[in-house]
Structure 1
Amino acid sequence: MQPTATPSRRPGWFNGTRGRYDGSLGGDRRLSGITFDLNHPSSQATWSTSRTF
């Protein structure tokens, strides 16, 4: 069984908005997750890496 990680980042941008990125390491050794605007949580997108870790 592969260990999993659940990283979370909360960057800020120059225009004052803030976002959150949550992700995990899957069994395929790729990171994937979701990101959203903290001021508008319904504005979200999924993301994934093509690189393995």
Structure 2
Amino acid sequence: MDGAYVNVPNIGMAEWETAYWGRNFPRLRKIKAKYDPHNVFQYEQSVPPATH
């Protein structure tokens, strides 16, 4: 994970989901869907809520 810092978005980074969150990304999407289903708290590379 060289150069992947969660609080510093890098729009040009390929596969940022894996670089930042690894295998946890699908689980984090489910958590996001539970607590922020309308994606109120978001930025360019935030975890999007899972869709059902």
TM-score bracket, normalised by the shorter chain, equals: under 0.3
The TM-score with structure 1 as length reference comes to 0.20
Query: Which structure is higher in strand share?
Result: 1
Structure richer in helix, relative to its length? 2
Relative CO higher for 1 or 2, CA cutoff 8 Å, sep ≥ 6? 2
Q: TM-score, normalised by structure 2?
A: 0.20
